[in-house]
Amino acid sequence: MLTAKLIDNIWATRKCESLNGLKFMLAEVIGGIEAGRRLIVVDTISAGIGDRVIVCTGSSARRMLDDDKIPVDAVVVGIIDEDCNFE
């Protein structure tokens, strides 16, 4: 999984029907040589802008959603505790 910070919301009125109702956010990888890499993630655990989160990618990301038929490849699976400091 990736360590990322949620930096903004993404709005897309025209989209694949199965994505209706999902919340899309822009995340930026933090730490390591991939810091600054950006990806769009789906959030289902009420994370907010500024939160540091754990992002799961690929086919595993769909496991977070009820429907395995959804075209989603990155999902917020956890919010890192505020008092969790890592190197």
Binding site for a copy of itself (CB under 8 A): 1-3, 7-16, 18-19, 24, 26, 28, 31-41, 45, 54, 56-64, 69-75, 77-81, 84, 86-87
- 48: its two tokens: 């907010």
Q: Give me the least distance between CB of 50 and a copy of itself, in Å please.
A: 12
**81 vs 87: CA distance, rounded Å:** 14
Q: Measuring CA to CA, which residue among 6, 11, 15 is closest to residue 74?
A: 6
- 77: its two tokens: 């699976």
Q: Give me the least distance between CB of 67 and a copy of itself, in Å please.
A: 9
Q: Give me the least distance between CB of 48 and a copy of itself, in Å please.
A: 11
**59 vs 16: CA distance, rounded Å:** 18
